[in-house]
Structure 1
Amino acid sequence: MSFKRELGLLSATSLGIGGILGAGIFVLSGVAISEAGPAAILSFVIGALLSLMIGFSYITLSKAFPGEGGAYYYAAKSYSHRYSFLTGWIYFGAWIIASGYVTLGFGEYVHSMTGLPAIPVGVALIVVLTGMNLLGVKISGWFQTALIVAELVLLVLVFGAGLPHINIGNFHPILPNGLHPMLSASLLGFLSLTGWDVIAVASKEIKNANKNVPLSIFASIMVVSVVYIALVFVMVGLYPYQSYTGNAAPVVMAVSKVFGNHISTILVGCIVSIALVATTNSFIMVTSRTLHALSSNTGFPRFLSWTSNIGVPWVSILVVNLLKTIVLILGNLGLYTGGTGFLYLVSFILTLLCLPPFNRSFPIRVKRIYQILTVLSVLLSLFVLVNNTKEGTIYGVLWVLIGLVLYSIWGKAIS
């Protein structure tokens, strides 16, 4: 049974914002500030520019292949079966490993507020959202929109309350540790602003996809970029950058200067909890649909593509959430961020290569300026990629090798 188109523009945008607005800013912002100093603001600007440039490329792809389901399908329409398989596999791995620091981050924040153990809390979140997604995309879409509205209202409140407490002296010198840490931290900025491509993956379930997919991609990137850069600005202004070193809850520390320790812990805990629930919900969408695509169009076991009578890929939802639970229990934040960064950038590069000037058989005409943006996006992605951690790179390479082995087993089965 095929998917039902039940997501409108608002729901699709909320899905994209939810994919971005999560653990990145609340977990990684402190790391970026401690490494780059006040220049972390520039790191997030670079990350935003890269995300926006790649977003424009995805918009072009969504117009060329309207209603198709994201990176795997774009690669399948452009190149060989092996190319599309590896693109889908790498993309799938990026999102599975990303779920590690999202659900772990949720558990840690709940632990800081209640004392409950982090991993069981993360597992409980996965179980609840699995049940909701099994009820259908319409219900999970409504839930997602409500979460995002509440999240944005609270973040605007924090930003407005923090501005009067900013110390301008904290912004000098702008590059206390030099240029390289700022560039290295741009990977964290970029990771914090990824996730909007869940919209492309959900294209088969979005109404009027030819119009709503491009609009929702652009809107989600712009909204979250502004929010993130503003929040990092306030965080830098409230405390000297050295204060964020080794701090597991950097936003709580920053907001405590405005609202006091008790209120700030509750306020940020609510914000983070909402954000990470929304992100986890988006991740369930993207991973289950990607696995569904791989099993529908490759030699993966066919039962993984089974859908219910209401168009829900229930088997892939159960399988990916089992994998997410395993990743959560094995918890390794350094591996998760580095591994996600490597695989995510590689999947982006493979997807961008489906566009002109790299793909001369592209079905629609693309203006020269957009072709230049595509080339710049690939080059900038490669630049950020080489600044990845050694641990993350090793994980990413191993995941790619596993994909090649799986292709040799299952890919040839339908060649």
Structure 2
Amino acid sequence: MSKTTKNQSSLSRTLSLRVAISIGVGIMVGAGIFVFPGIASGQAGPAAMLSFLLAGSIAFIVALCTAELATAMPESGGGYYFVSRTFGPFWGMLIGIGQWLGLVFASAFYLYGFGSYLLDLLKEIGYQPGDPIILIGLATALLLTFINIMGTKSAGRLQNNVVLILTGILTLLFIYGVLQAFGIIGETSLPAPFAPMGYSPVFGVSALIFTSYLGFVQIATVGGEIINPQRNLPRALVASVLIVLCLYLLALFVTNSVLPVNQLKELGETAIVEVARSLIGDIGALIVLFAGLLATFSSANASILSSSRTIFALSKDRLVPEWVSDIHERFGTPHRALFLVGLPIVGILFIGKLEVLAEVASLLHLVIYGLICACVLKLRKKRPVWYVPGFKTPGYPVIPAVGMLAGFGLIFFMKPLSLMLGGSVLLVSALYYLAYAKGKTLTDPSPPHIEPQLRQPRILLPIALPLEKPIPLAILRNFTDLEVLLLGYKELKEQTSPEQFEEEDDGESQKELDKVKKELEDESFDVITELVFTRDVSQAIDNVILEYDCQALLVVKPIEELSRLLIPVYDINQLSKRYATVIYELTKASNLPASLMFIESDESSEDSENENTKDTSAMKSKAIKRLKQAGVQRNKIETSALKVSSISEAVEEKSESDDLVILVEANAKERENFINRIREKISNKIECPLLVVLEEREREEDTEREDSPAEDVEDVEEDKENNAS
């Protein structure tokens, strides 16, 4: 591998769950919790709490949709990556540039606020430094850019510590205010009346304050660097929204308990400082100013980190020059992408008036949020082979549809100037795409739980010539991008040599094989053919599997309609990722139910019964997890336990004519014997077709690495939760 290629490799996974949550909370708490309580309460009174609850509910829906997309595509780029892989590079470019510039404007706004808070804090303690807000913001921007270049882990540690201190300060202050409002400390002062201006301002205020919830999707922007994304991404997204929603509701409740609506309207963005002063005196004002410093600092740091990953993702897709995605050899960070974030921030700081630009950032993010929900709707319907999310949005399709409409709907409450500027950013992005990136293609995502070679699975279909049974097209039609290896064979008697029979056959078998090939090609399948004359069919099948690296073997049986998957499970080692992917291909369009049969030997002694029960429980939890990864809904998974002497006996007892029996090869080294058992003891006893998922030769060596005991324990706990629900 060349040095250049190495520099453009994926970023390391170094961000923990705690750091991922702190990135989302750090951006969302930001300046919003210090600026909006006074402004919102001045417009709607205590009913502004409903505005924050409404905006938070929309954010929560988008967080659920983002969690689904992020577990299917845990890559850097977040909203840009999701939209580009769902709707194509053109829409990806619009969202990518919008996400990058939106975060650049937001970072500049936060840094300007940081300078303002620092000056106010200095003035509060009696020092008059003049008015160098821009210089303070500029120096802080350069400092944060340098910290992020030094390493993602260092930047994440800084972010985590700052957010912990900030949320701790705010929580203590607001809890003290709640205790005072309920009369536990001092006199009771509950906010009343609740809606002095009526309920009509609630929706307008929701649009105004929605900028407070712009940070959670940026967790997905650094998804390529989060440890164990299948578990940590959904938790971080949902937890960050809920934490911030609780903080905002506490802030609104305390603000309206301490000061009347008229005074809040007059104070506006400085109201929270006066609220703290009223609660605990001048020390309260100092605490809030200090917390404001931390909030704007953490928001700027998280925005710089996330924005650089958007540029990094655009560069890896060659929609902007490839040199942008180079990774620093020493620090392992995208240093050039970080410079393309830090330098524009420095320039924008000199504009000074950034309120309108902050609203433009909100507008661009609302477009992203609406499209994120649209991605879930489209991908669930289309179900491409790579889309196997570890988390699914509940209430589909209603919840994603509501999120999409709400996200786009709030845009119409924006100011006309903001709409013009946001539209200009999207227009410039479109023109750039047409001039530079038109015609570029994007690679499909590579989720860690889907094997890359199964993007176009190759199924071996052995048929005895002349063909006596019809090809099971009802099964093959469930696959997309399928390659069929059609093996036509003539099983010879012991005394007949292959050479002698081939001469006597005079091409008749080849004509039969070509006829079947044409039937499959008419169904738009890619078909490879092999013709063999052999005394040992199992060995011939084994040889072809190895030569062509087949992923599955389909035993022909006539079938008109496929209605159920029947899956005997007898060995935990057979429950591989390949098994999940092949089943995903079968169920993605038809959403077939699956019946799992857990097989125990009926010859087990009493001493081994408890051990067998434990093994069955482990197999059950793991099998259900694999089926859920394959897209089978939990309520469509049926389980049963059988005590029989053989698999063939179990299959014969439970199978029906419109089933598809799925066996999984547990030991590839003994494949020939396995195929013999299928042909002699299983296939002849059932009326339905049979699909065998084939494992790689090195499967036994990889079993422990792929499925650790810790994962098995997690699977069991997850299954307990599923059963309880």
TM-score range, shorter chain: over 0.9
Shift of 1:313: 0.7
The amino acid of 1:183's aligned partner reads F
State which drifts further: 39-48 or 330-339: 330-339
Corresponding residue for 1:17?
Answer: 25
Corresponding residue for 1:78?
Answer: 86
Distance 1:146 1:364 in 2: 34
**Of 369, 373, 377, which residue of structure 1 is paired with 2:395?**
369
Shift of 1:140: 0.9
The answer to whether the 8 Å contact 1:299/1:413 transfers is: no
Structure 2 length as normaliser, TM-score?
0.55
Distance 2:106 2:376 in 1: 26
Distance 1:155 1:299 in 2: 42
Corresponding residue for 1:173?
Answer: 193
**Of 134, 137, 152, which residue of structure 1 is paired with 2:167?**
152
User: 1:352-363 residue pairs with structure 2 within 5 A?
Assistant: 352-356=373-377, 360-362=381-383, 363=387
Distance 1:52 1:79 in 2: 23
Q: Note if 1:240 corresponds to 2:248.
A: no
Q: Note if 1:408 corresponds to 2:431.
A: no
State which drifts further: 63-72 or 321-330: 63-72
Corresponding residue for 2:214?
Answer: 194
**Of 130, 140, 143, which residue of structure 2 is paired with 1:125?**
140
Deviation digits for residues 282-304 of structure 1 (CA, Å, limit 9, x no counterpart): 00111111011112213323332
State which drifts further: 265-274 or 322-331: 322-331
Q: Determine what percentage of the aligned residue pairs are the same residue.
A: 27
* Closer, same or farther: CA 367–95 of 1 in aligned 2, 3 Å: closer
Shift of 1:106: 1.2
Corresponding residue for 2:347?
Answer: 326
The answer to whether the 8 Å contact 1:91/1:343 transfers is: yes
Corresponding residue for 1:30?
Answer: 38
Corresponding residue for 1:314?
Answer: 335
User: 1:47-58 residue pairs with structure 2 within 5 A?
Assistant: 47-58=55-66
Shift of 1:168: 6.9
Q: Note if 1:397 corresponds to 2:423.
A: yes
User: 1:252-267 residue pairs with structure 2 within 5 A?
Assistant: 252-260=273-281, 262-267=282-287
The answer to whether the 8 Å contact 1:67/1:210 transfers is: no
Deviation digits for residues 27-56 of structure 1 (CA, Å, limit 9, x no counterpart): 222221212221111111111101101000
Corresponding residue for 1:380?
Answer: 406
* Closer, same or farther: CA 263–44 of 1 in aligned 2, 3 Å: same
Corresponding residue for 1:223?
Answer: 243
Shift of 1:413: 6.7
Corresponding residue for 2:156?
Answer: 141
Distance 2:50 2:359 in 1: 20
* Closer, same or farther: CA 206–395 of 1 in aligned 2, 3 Å: same
The answer to whether the 8 Å contact 2:115/2:137 transfers is: yes
* Closer, same or farther: CA 19–76 of 1 in aligned 2, 3 Å: same
Distance 1:381 1:316 in 2: 29
State which drifts further: 303-312 or 356-365: 356-365
Shift of 1:68: 5.1
Distance 1:133 1:321 in 2: 10
Corresponding residue for 1:206?
Answer: 226
State which drifts further: 273-282 or 111-120: 111-120
The answer to whether the 8 Å contact 2:76/2:225 transfers is: no
Distance 1:322 1:330 in 2: 14
The answer to whether the 8 Å contact 2:366/2:407 transfers is: yes
Shift of 1:359: 5.8
* Closer, same or farther: CA 168–98 of 1 in aligned 2, 3 Å: farther
State which drifts further: 346-355 or 291-300: 291-300
Corresponding residue for 2:301?
Answer: 281
Distance 1:413 1:303 in 2: 20
The answer to whether the 8 Å contact 1:46/1:189 transfers is: no
The amino acid of 1:259's aligned partner reads I
The answer to whether the 8 Å contact 2:211/2:362 transfers is: yes
Corresponding residue for 2:111?
Answer: 103
The amino acid of 1:135's aligned partner reads M
The answer to whether the 8 Å contact 2:52/2:249 transfers is: yes
Distance 2:259 2:19 in 1: 37
Distance 2:378 2:327 in 1: 38
Distance 1:241 1:321 in 2: 40
Bigger RCO (CA 8 Å, 6+ sep) = 1
Distance 1:176 1:101 in 2: 32
Shift of 1:4: 1.0
Structure 1 length as normaliser, TM-score?
0.94
Deviation digits for residues 135-170 of structure 1 (CA, Å, limit 9, x no counterpart): 100111111111111112111211122224438777
Distance 2:108 2:194 in 1: 32
The amino acid of 2:435's aligned partner reads I
* Closer, same or farther: CA 287–253 of 1 in aligned 2, 3 Å: same
Q: Secondary structure at the match of 1:249?
A: helix
* Closer, same or farther: CA 327–168 of 1 in aligned 2, 3 Å: farther
Distance 1:45 1:189 in 2: 11
Distance 1:13 1:31 in 2: 27
The answer to whether the 8 Å contact 1:342/1:385 transfers is: yes
Distance 2:429 2:401 in 1: 26
Gaps in structure 2 of 5+ consecutive residues: 1-6, 123-127, 182-186, 442-725
Shift of 1:254: 0.8
**Of 23, 36, 53, which residue of structure 2 is paired with 1:45?**
53
The answer to whether the 8 Å contact 1:170/1:241 transfers is: no
Q: Note if 1:337 corresponds to 2:337.
A: no
The amino acid of 1:140's aligned partner reads A
The answer to whether the 8 Å contact 2:75/2:221 transfers is: no
Which has the higher Rg, Structure 1 or Structure 2? 2
The answer to whether the 8 Å contact 1:76/1:83 transfers is: yes
The amino acid of 1:213's aligned partner reads L
* Closer, same or farther: CA 82–45 of 1 in aligned 2, 3 Å: same
State which drifts further: 100-109 or 397-406: 100-109
Q: Note if 1:161 corresponds to 2:176.
A: yes
The answer to whether the 8 Å contact 1:151/1:275 transfers is: yes
Shift of 1:212: 0.9
The answer to whether the 8 Å contact 2:370/2:406 transfers is: no
The answer to whether the 8 Å contact 1:306/1:313 transfers is: yes
User: Hey, which of these two has a bigger chunk of strand by percent?
Assistant: 2
Distance 1:400 1:208 in 2: 34
The answer to whether the 8 Å contact 2:76/2:309 transfers is: no
What number of residue pairs does the alignment pair up?
414
The answer to whether the 8 Å contact 1:57/1:370 transfers is: no
Shift of 1:368: 6.8
State which drifts further: 300-309 or 143-152: 300-309
